[in-house]
A and B are shown apart, each in its own frame.
Chain A
Amino acid sequence: MGSAPLLSVEDLVVVYQTPSGPVRAVDRVSFVLERGEVLGLVGESGSGKSTVAQALARILAPPAMITGGRVLFEGHDVLAMNEDELRRFRWRKMSFVLQSAMNALSPVLTIGDQIIDVLVTHERTSKRIARERAAHLLELVGIDPARLTSHPHELSGGMRQRVGIALALALDPPLVVMDEPTTALDVVVQHEVLSKIAELKEKLGLSVLFITHDMSVVSQFATRIGVLYAGRLVEMAPTRELFRAPRHPYTAGLLGSFVSIHGPRRRLAGIPGSPPDLRRLPTGCAFRARCREAAARCATEAPALRVIAEDHHTACHLVSP
């Protein structure tokens, strides 16, 4: 088991059952996350990145359904687990920091209760011990333990998100999935939360799956980055490599559309057009309508993810190794 990667996703397919027919939100996504690694998953709204995240612990709500693929965690197939095994797996092995700091905590329960809940459920500790642990967890993220009895609405957005992080660390899980953990926050607070995450990652040796639409955020942390477009992984490479030499036109477009304070001045370039409607995906490459270099082959044949350099994968016909 020691040789198995921490997380290995193979050909994951997630379908949303809609009145107008099934929609493939995640289409044959595969990736591997090694122990101690921070893997960034980047994409626009609707690219399927949060759906991938939730599929990993099978917390997708209907009408979303996992219809294919495998999710192996430390070699165990998560998709084959029964309800009991799944409950024991969740949070102990893989915890979440969810998108909106505002809504991830129940408004009617104290933050203490929501942390203690996890400890009591999984570790069967007494309430008293759980309370001490919860206080310690709050200290870890820099929040006064007296706040245990506060309700979410009494905390600022940044504090709430740090509570979310404390909650994610409660059982000391090998993998933390962070789904847009800083999106709802202003830039200053965003920075504060990100440095807290970086600090804890070093201290606790966490593995992180970091999901965001913001290239600049993910570049600070991730060892590798995967780029999702219309439910498919279009490029995956080590962060440096991806920033230095993006091969997929979409990745290049993403990197061209944010400001870097280092390096030479350059004109910002956006990506023309908008993401495709998943219900009516074009044939061939989903990106071709927005791609400046699209060729005839792109309209007929969907490009598969190929190895083009060491540890660098791209799904584009125009790229040659």
Chain B
Amino acid sequence: MRYLLRQLGLYVLAAWASLTLNFIVPRLAPGDPASAMFARYKGQLQPEALAALREAFGFTGGPLHEQYASYLAHLFRGDLGVSVAYFPAKVTDVLGMGLGWTALLTGSSVVVAFALGSLLGVIAAWRRGGAFDTTLPPLLVFLGAFPYFWLAMMLLYGFGFTLDVLPLRHAYDDTLAPSLSFSFLASVAEHLLLPATSIVLASVGGWMLSMRSSMIGVLAEDYVTMAHAKGLSPLRIMFHYAARNALLPNVTGFGMALGFVLGGSLLTEIVFSYPGQGYLLVQAVRSQDYPLMQGIFLTITMAVLAANFLVDVLYVWLDPRTRGR
């Protein structure tokens, strides 16, 4: 537990550092982003919006430490300012639109790809040199070598357009109002299937290969020989003794992938017009929407930190050697 608390402290420090960078970087540039934006959107941006932007950024003209304090105060109130591209919506509201969809799409894809890839890797290593082991890894590496947006387009063309069995765009059917009804959830799942499949296909091979190689190392360990000698069933040896240990080095990679989930899978979201974070980021860059960009940057940073902490917790749970330190 002390170990986790110490890690948590470390992450709080890292979060503070990134927030502070977020504060300092715009101030290193000449002028201030709010005025620059105001100049670029002459006539389109209301003076109240400029004031709100200044306020949100903390460009109050006061001394730096006062600006810093008001910046932090705004942040902790959850106030990230007003978006330019989606004026006059607040950045937090805009982020709220995309965040959930991205978390759903990329999150589920990463989890499925990791689970499936690891399982395939375990089986391939267990039957090393067998038919399964010699055909599947090259096939998946071949698939993974395609740019993932190209896979996305092929899937879209094949299943969405030619066969017309799955929807072409968006996260749910426009005719349905978001609710927890079965028809809405089914529509969400239907819309999720193609983009998620394209991400899973592109990344499952990597997970499989790394799990396979760590599993092969573990299979040579004495405790696996011992498990055989104990007369345990092959499934028990394979998962309880071998895979449990082989999983450990891969958890780190999983955590990193999970951290970048909120960055979205930019091109996949664009191909499927999926209303996620990546789509928002493109909009933000296109219209030089500083507040939105900063908001997205902030959520990604926080997600990376949170995922890292999650991995620490997972490790403590999976590997007793990290406990009690």
List chain A positions with a Cβ less than 8 A from chain B: 54, 57, 59, 61-62, 86-92, 95-96, 98-100, 103-110, 117-118, 121-122, 151, 153
Contact = CB atoms under 8 A, between A and B. Distances in A.
A96 B320 CA distance: 25
27 contacts: A54-B229, A59-B225, A61-B225, A87-B231, A87-B232, A88-B231, A89-B231, A90-B228, A91-B229, A92-B231, A95-B229, A96-B226, A96-B229, A103-B223, A106-B223, A106-B227, A106-B241, A107-B319, A107-B320, A107-B321, A109-B241, A118-B230, A118-B231, A121-B231, A121-B232, A121-B236, A153-B320
Contacts of A110: 320
A121 B244 contact: no
B245 A87 contact: no
Contact of A54 (B223, B225, B233, B244): B225
B125 to A, nearest CB: 12
Contacts of A54: 225, 229
Given A107-B245, A108-B319, A98 B225 contact: yes
B233 A87 contact: yes
A107 B244 CA distance: 10
Contacts of A95: 229-230
Contacts of B231: 86-92, 118, 121-122
Interface of B: 128, 219-223, 225-233, 236, 240-241, 244-245, 248, 318-321
Contact of B222 (A91, A92, A100, A121): A100
Nearest to A108: B244
A117 B229 CA distance: 12
Contacts of B232: 87, 117-118, 121
B230 A90 contact: yes
A57 B229 contact: yes
Most buried by A among B226, B233, B241: B226
A90 B229 contact: yes
Contacts of A153: 320-321
A106 B244 contact: yes
A112 to B, nearest CB: 12
| Most chain A CB neighbours (cut-off 10 Å) among B229, B241, B245 | B229
A61 B219 contact: yes
Contacts of A98: 222, 225-226, 229
